Structure 1
Amino acid sequence: MVDVRLPDHLDERCIRHHGPDAERPTVVVHWMRAALRLDENPTFDVARTLAKSLGLPLVVYQAIDERYPHASYRHHRFLLEGAADVAHRAERLGVKHVLHVARNGHREPALLRLAESAAVVVTDLVDLEPWRTWTEAVARVRHVIEVDAHCVLPRPVFGRTADRPFRFKDATKREMKRRMGQPWPRLQVDLAQLPESWMPPFMPVDAAHELRTDGARGMLSECRIDPTVVPVQGMVGGASAGMARWKAYLDEGLSRYHRTRNNAALRQGVSGMSPWLHHGMVAATRLARDAAEHGTKGAEKFLDEMLVFREHAYHHAHDVDRPHAWDRLPDWARASWRRSALVHPARTAMELERGRSYDALW
């Protein structure tokens, strides 16, 4: 394994998978797969720290794959918008970013080929399939370091499930209180540059160009995804769009969150940040810090939802085998689900997709 000492705030987020050493490594690879941002991103900071210490250039490799559950045009478009945003930020930082989109004629094992020339592959910690299997595959080629870039309290630090959220809250409240207001340390490093002749072992995609050309419809039509699930108007992927939405909610909605969150008819009753948080386009540490500074009852309730219910789910998935399985849920949760499940008249998938359920709540 690469022997580089990391700062404590980064090291505590890491899980190391030992793989073969590279005889003549030429790069450090940041495999961006779940935290799709560069600012306040511990995965990026670990990768930069290693690249600096090893005297190697850094390559940020991002892929949009077809093999995730329920792959669709909506999801792919959101990810592609996020990739364009990352590429723009990477250019400003002077870091090489390459994007691979799996599609007809381009389903080669791009990451495995890139990993062959790497000293180490640094990636986001994901506890679900198929990402676990992909991590194991890369670790057979090269050393891999997974970094928790999603949680305020890192999973490698706590990483235990609890029968109920309030028990998770009791077990973590001291650490959460200590961490939620902490600023994220800024990392400024000058990295070695790739030679002008360097090319990735695949044809990289210019996400911004594809989006400008035809909204990426042509390229995405070559992907094995569901084309009938179309993008949602006003939902644009990327850290820039996510942070703009968050800043607006901080100013206009967070103080009322404790009163509006349970009214599903109020579109502005909640932050709507879930898509950007899910894909790590915004940092949970940033949102928690902003909410803690806000100091209102609404912010207090927002932090309760974010630091208890959201983080409990991540730590639960980290702790148990087959976290996606029904039988891994606590008995009380399964019983509650059965009691509260709504029964709707039969509707076609297209009726539901087009909002024709004739149910106001849906």
Structure 2
Amino acid sequence: MFPYESEVPALRLRSMNQLAVQPDRRWVIYWMTAFRRTRSNYALQFARDMAKQFDRPLIVLEALRVDYRWASDRFHRFIIEGMLDNQAACSKSGVLYYPYVEPQSGDGSGLIEALAAQAAVVVSDDYPCFFHPRMLQKAGSKLSSALIAVDANCLMPLRAAERTFTVAHSYRRWMQKELPQHIEQPPAPNPLDGRSTRTLPQLSKLPPEIERRWPRAALDALLSPDGMMQFSIDHGVGPGALRGGAATAAQLLEQFVEQRLADYDSARNEPDELGSSE
């Protein structure tokens, strides 16, 4: 790993290829794929720090492919609602947020490669499930820039354990001993606050050849009543009652802390008491 200026613990960083960072290139990319939030996100924090270190604009690319397993109106809408929240957060900070929603399978191919060709470094999410590990490995072999995956999954870093735990109680003993040191290295609450981003060079849009080939998604239009019908996804699974996005998540957390946390230990397994964290 190259010498970097960031408070993100090294244990959370993983190089996905052997390419060196190139500080003289045009921008830094945060490729948001799994940790779709702008707060308490080690990956976004690290990307911001790289942009500051290299004095380059930061681009947040959040893309949604159309052919993931179980793709439906419910999942698509939930994710796009979250993209709206992320777009609003980035617009307040001056960071360029670029939402891309793939119209047809394969249309998004080449986008991250085009951005990486001018990137000092690409930072992405180190998520261990679904298609993400395979996608990261493939990207690492194809991109023409350094690709660094950042673990922002939870309080305990994925690679903190040096052995496999075969029974739960041995893991709990180890975790209770190890967790305090990691809690003392929390993510920045808001990596995009004004103090952190005001010195970054500004970028208002991508080069026209990129925006023409992969147009910026009109998120509000996609959330209109018929917005999902253009996609080849399962329209039989309709939108859920819960809105997606960080704003809704924050409201639910506040409600839980104020109304349910005090009795959670006794009420969480009592359906009639609505004591779970949902």
Question: TM-score with structure 1 length normalisation?
Answer: 0.67
Per-residue CA deviation, residues 108-166 of structure 1 (Å, 9 max, x unaligned), is: 31222222221211011122342222112221212111111111011133365422222
2:131 match: 130
2:167 match: 164
Q: Which amino acid aligns with 2:150?
A: V
Structure 1 contact 84–206 (Cα < 8 Å) conserved: no
Structure 2 contact 65–108 (Cα < 8 Å) conserved: no
Larger Rg: 1
Q: 1:160 to 1:75 in 2, by over 3 A?
A: farther
Q: 1:258 to 1:198 in 2, by over 3 A?
A: same
Between the aligned partners of 1:86 and 1:56, the Cα distance in structure 2 is 21
Structure 1 contact 51–58 (Cα < 8 Å) conserved: yes
1:24-173 to 2 correspondences below 5 Å: 25-104=25-104, 107-109=107-109, 110-140=111-141, 141=143, 142-158=145-161, 160-173=163-176
Q: Which has the higher contact order (CA 8 A, sep 6+)?
A: 2
Between the aligned partners of 1:165 and 1:145, the Cα distance in structure 2 is 31
- Provide the alpha-carbon RMSD of the alignment: 2.4
Between the aligned partners of 1:69 and 1:10, the Cα distance in structure 2 is 33
Structure 2 contact 96–205 (Cα < 8 Å) conserved: no
1:281 match: none
- The SS at the match of 1:248 is helix
1:11 match: 10
Deviates more, 1:223-232 or 1:46-55: 223-232
**Aligned-pair CA distance for 1:105:** 8.2
Q: Which runs of 5+ in 1 are unaligned?
A: 273-362
Q: Which amino acid aligns with 1:5?
A: Y
**Runs of 4 or more above 3 Å deviation:** 6-10, 19-24, 177-187, 195-201
Between the aligned partners of 2:103 and 2:206, the Cα distance in structure 1 is 26
**Aligned-pair CA distance for 1:12:** 2.6
1:254 equivalent in alignment to 2:261: yes
**Aligned-pair CA distance for 1:20:** 4.2
Per-residue CA deviation, residues 190-209 of structure 1 (Å, 9 max, x unaligned), is: 21112667444410113234
**Aligned-pair CA distance for 1:5:** 1.6
Q: 1:21 to 1:122 in 2, by over 3 A?
A: same
Q: Which amino acid aligns with 2:200?
A: L
Between the aligned partners of 2:52 and 2:7, the Cα distance in structure 1 is 17
How many percent of aligned residue pairs carry the same amino acid?
25
Q: Which runs of 5+ in 2 are unaligned?
A: none
Between the aligned partners of 2:235 and 2:246, the Cα distance in structure 1 is 25
Between the aligned partners of 1:194 and 1:55, the Cα distance in structure 2 is 12
Q: Which amino acid aligns with 2:276?
A: V
2:276 match: 270
